[in-house]
Amino acid sequence: MLNTFWQRWSETRYNTKVTTLRFLLALWIGKSARLFVRLIGQGSGTALPGLLALNIDPTFLHTGLKQLKDDCIVISGTNGKTTTAQMVRAVMKPPHQSLLMNKEGSNLLRGIASSIIEHSRLDGHIQASLGLFELDEATLPLLLDIQPPRILVLLNLFRDQLDRYGEVDLIRKKWADAIKKLPTETRLVLNADDPLVASLGKGWSNVVFFGIDDVSAASEKPASHLDVRACPSCGGKLAMRNFFASHLCHYQCQKCSFHRPKPDIAAIHIISNGLEETDIGVVIHGKRQRLTIPIPGLPAVYSTLATCAVAHILELDKTVVLDALRALPRPFGRWERIEINGQKILLILIKNPAGASAVLDTLAGTKHNTLLLALNDNLADGTDVSWIWDTPFEKLPGAKRVIVTGTRANDLALRFKYAERKTIEVVSSLKQAIIRGLHVKHGSDTGSLTILATYTAMLAIRKILTGSHLGGVQE
pLDDT score for 252:
97
The pLDDT confidence band at residue 14, using thresholds 50, 70 and 90, is very low
Whether residue 361 sits in one domain with residue 302:
no
What's the CA gap between 105 and 83, in Å, rounded? 9
Q: How confident is the model at residue 394 (pLDDT cuts 50, 70, 90)?
A: confident
- Residue-range definition of the domain harbouring residue 386: 334-472
Percent of the chain with pLDDT strictly greater than 70: 89
- pLDDT classification of 164: cutoffs 50, 70, 90: low
211 and 347 belong to one structural domain: no
Judge if 119 and 249 occupy the same domain.
Answer: yes
Residues of the chain above pLDDT 90, percent: 57
Q: In this predicted model, what pLDDT tens digit does every residue of 118-129 receive, in sequence order?
A: 999 999 999 888
- Is 317 in the same domain as 354? no
The reported pLDDT for the residue numbered 439 is 78
Mean pLDDT of 291-312: 95
pLDDT above 90 for 160: no
End-to-end CA distance of the chain: 66
Domain edge (last residue) among 326, 347, 368 = 326
| pLDDT value for 6 | 38
| Cα–Cα distance, 372 to 404 (Å, whole number) | 6
What pLDDT is stored for residue 340 in this prediction?
83
* Residue 257 shares a structural domain with residue 362: no
If you average pLDDT over every residue of the chain, what do you get?
Answer: 87
For 464-469, the CB contacts below 8 A with 24+ separation are 464/430, 464/431, 464/434, 465/338, 465/340, 465/345, 465/347, 465/434, 466/338, 468/431
pTM: predicted TM-score of the whole model, two decimal places: 0.88
At residue 191, the 3 state secondary structure works out as strand
Residue 163, pLDDT score = 52
Q: How far apart are CA 163 and CA 39, in angstroms?
A: 34
Q: What CATH number does the domain containing 251 carry?
A: 3.40.1190.10
Same structural domain, 364 and 270: no
Based on the structure, what is the number of domains in the chain?
A: 2
Is 80 exceeded by the pLDDT of residue 421? Answer: no
> What's the distance, CA 402 to chain centroid?
27
pLDDT of residue 443: 45
pLDDT over threshold 90, residue 269: yes
Residue 255 DSSP one-character state: S
Domain boundary residue, one of 326, 358, 390: 326
pLDDT of residue 4: 46
Would you state the pLDDT for residue 1? 43
Q: Which residues contact 370 (CB under 8 A, 6 or more apart)?
A: 399, 400, 401, 402, 403, 437, 438, 447, 448, 449, 450
Query: In this structure, are 294 and 394 located in the same domain?
Result: no
Q: Is 31 helix (H, G, I), strand (E, B) or coil?
A: helix
Higher pLDDT, 52 or 106: 52
In tens, the pLDDT along 351-361 reads 989 899 999 98
Same domain, 81 and 216: yes
Q: What pLDDT is attached to residue 472?
A: 39
Q: What span, in angstroms and rounded, lies between the C-alpha atoms of 395 and 409?
A: 19
95 has pLDDT over 90: no
Mean pLDDT of 64-74: 91
> Mean of the pLDDT values across residues 71-82?
94
3-state helix, strand, coil in the chain (%, to 5): 40, 25, 40
One domain for residues 338 and 322: no
- Find the range with the poorest average confidence among 108-122, 316-330, 434-448: 434-448
- The pLDDT of residue 445 is above 50: no
User: 265, 292, 326: which is the final residue of a domain?
Assistant: 326
**Which range has the worst mean pLDDT, 10-19, 104-113, 185-194, 300-309?**
10-19
| Residue-level pLDDT at 3 | 46
| Confidence at residue 465, expressed as pLDDT on a 0 to 100 scale | 87
Report for 218-232, 262-276, 460-474: range of highest mean pLDDT: 262-276
Check whether residue 39 and residue 89 sit in a common domain: yes
pLDDT value of residue 240: 95
Tell me, what's the pLDDT at 7? Answer: 45
- pLDDT for 55 equals 94
- The CATH number that applies at residue 384 is 3.90.190.20
Do 343 and 322 belong together in one domain? no
| 153-162, 386-395, 426-435, 450-459: the lowest-pLDDT one | 153-162
pLDDT higher than threshold 50 for residue 173: yes
Q: What is the arithmetic mean of pLDDT over 6-23?
A: 53
Query: At residue 83, does pLDDT exceed 90?
Result: yes
Beta strand 399-405 pairing with 265-273:
unpaired
Tens-place pLDDT, residues 320-339: 898 999 988 888 788 999 88
Task: Summarize the confidence of residues 423-452 as an average pLDDT.
Answer: 79
Are residues 208 and 93 part of one domain? yes
